[in-house]
């Protein structure tokens, strides 16, 4: 059967989320997670749908991609078709040709599981390996000890606190309570938690969002930040431990995070929080020329 690519429209997003939930596995390489769509949902269902691509064969979803910005496609496939030659060639054709409507011309990147056949095909079209990223994982089989920090779970009534910390943690962030409420309308919201940590003076100093993919599936942290005025006190480690505990309560088998390898401080924070470093992964990049 012919493989097709489509933009799902807002009404088709739930199907993409369900496929990503189903595909999550401890045995799978680092890959696109339903929480990635959940975090993108802060821009609204229309914008999220416009950024999603779905590849099908005979009605079955084989691959899902998310344009995380104009120049990065984050992509994964169903577990059984990682090395499917027909799919890999169709993905390659759609990715390298701007007129296909997947990626624009110029410098762009693709994040895909390292065991996907796509990783072998794109270099033949002039793509190169990009910067290294470090995945980290914490097993959640055993209980997680509570951190030495007051943690609050955030909901619609106090989402302004979470938004304030995020703006203070990331330069250029425009996150607002309105964006939080928009994010809460998405399908992944039901499997998420939003935490804020407070110092001894009662100031909100750090925040994190966690996303489950269902019981027995890996969960992820996205994003985690410490307010720039409160760094250097171990708050990042404390909120990361709290995030792992929240995912365990949601039934996740593990907690995962992916950070640029160049961000040595972030890698150290996650390792100090009980996360184990996994082998580096790399995007594939096409230069502007």
Q: How confident is the model at residue 289 (pLDDT cuts 50, 70, 90)?
A: confident
Rg of the chain in Å (alpha carbons):
19
Q: What would the 3-class secondary structure string for 33-92 be?
A: CHHHHHHHHHHCHHHHHHHEEEEEECCEEEEEEEECCCCEEEEEECHHHCCCHHHHHHHH
User: Is the per-residue pLDDT at 257 higher than 80?
Assistant: yes
CA 36 to CA 16: how far, in whole Å? Answer: 12
- Report residue 103's pLDDT band, with 50, 70 and 90 as the boundaries: very high
Each residue of 117-137: pLDDT tens digit? 999 999 999 999 998 999 999
Mean pLDDT of the chain, nearest integer: 96
pLDDT tens digits along 258-281: 999 999 999 999 999 999 999 999
CA 222 to chain centre: 6
The DSSP secondary-structure symbol of 143 reads: P
- State mean pLDDT over 138-156: 96
Q: What value does the mean pLDDT take over residues 48-55?
A: 98
d(CA 217, CA 13): 20
Q: Please report the pLDDT score of residue 27 as a whole number.
A: 85
97/78 Cα distance (integer angstroms): 23
Q: What residues have CB less than 8 Å from 57, skipping those under 6 apart?
A: 1, 2, 3, 4, 86, 87
CB 117 within 8 A of CB 34: no
How far, in whole angstroms, is CA 65 from its chain's centroid? 12
- Of 186, 287, 197, the C-alpha closest to 240 is 197
Cα-flanking dihedrals φ and ψ of residue 234, to 5°? 85, 10
Asked whether residue 4 carries a pLDDT value surpassing 80, the answer given is: yes
Strands (E), the chain: 3-6, 52-57, 60-67, 72-77, 108-111, 128-139, 150-153, 192-198, 204-211, 218-226, 254-260, 276-277, 281-286
Closest Cα to residue 54, out of 85, 28, 16? 16
pLDDT surpassing 90 at residue 28: no
Gap between the Cα atoms of 46 and 268, Å rounded: 37
């Amino acid at each position: 059967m012919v493989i097709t690519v489509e933009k799902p429209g807002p009404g088709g997003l739930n199907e993409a989320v369900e496929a990503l939930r189903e595909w999550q596995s401890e045995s799978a390489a680092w890959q696109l997670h339903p929480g990635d769509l959940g975090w993108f949902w802060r821009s609204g269902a229309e914008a999220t749908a416009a950024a999603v691509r779905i590849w099908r064969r005979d009605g079955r979803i084989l691959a899902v991609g998310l344009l995380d910005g104009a120049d990065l496609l984050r992509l994964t496939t169903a577990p059984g078709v990682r090395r499917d030659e027909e799919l890999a060639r169709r993905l390659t054709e759609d990715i390298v040709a701007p007129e296909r409507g997947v990626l624009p011309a110029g410098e762009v990147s693709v994040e895909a599981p390292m065991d996907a056949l796509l990783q072998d095909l794109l270099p033949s079209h002039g793509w190169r390996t990009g910067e290294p990223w470090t995945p980290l994982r914490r097993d959640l089989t055993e209980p997680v000890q509570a951190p030495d920090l007051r943690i609050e779970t955030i909901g619609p009534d106090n989402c302004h606190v979470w938004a304030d910390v995020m703006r203070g943690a990331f330069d250029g962030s425009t996150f607002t309570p309105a964006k939080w409420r928009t994010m809460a309308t998405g399908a992944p919201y039901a499997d998420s938690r939003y935490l804020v940590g407070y110092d001894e003076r009662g100031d909100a100093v750090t925040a994190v969002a966690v996303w489950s993919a269902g019981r027995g599936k890996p969960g992820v942290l996205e994003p985690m930040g410490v307010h720039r005025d409160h760094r250097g006190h171990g708050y990042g480690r404390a909120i990361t431990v709290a995030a792992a505990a929240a995912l365990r309560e949601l039934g996740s088998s593990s907690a995962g995070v992916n950070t640029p390898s160049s961000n040595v401080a972030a890698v150290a924070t996650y390792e100090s929080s009980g996360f184990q470093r996994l082998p580096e992964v790399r995007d594939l990049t096409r230069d502007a020329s």
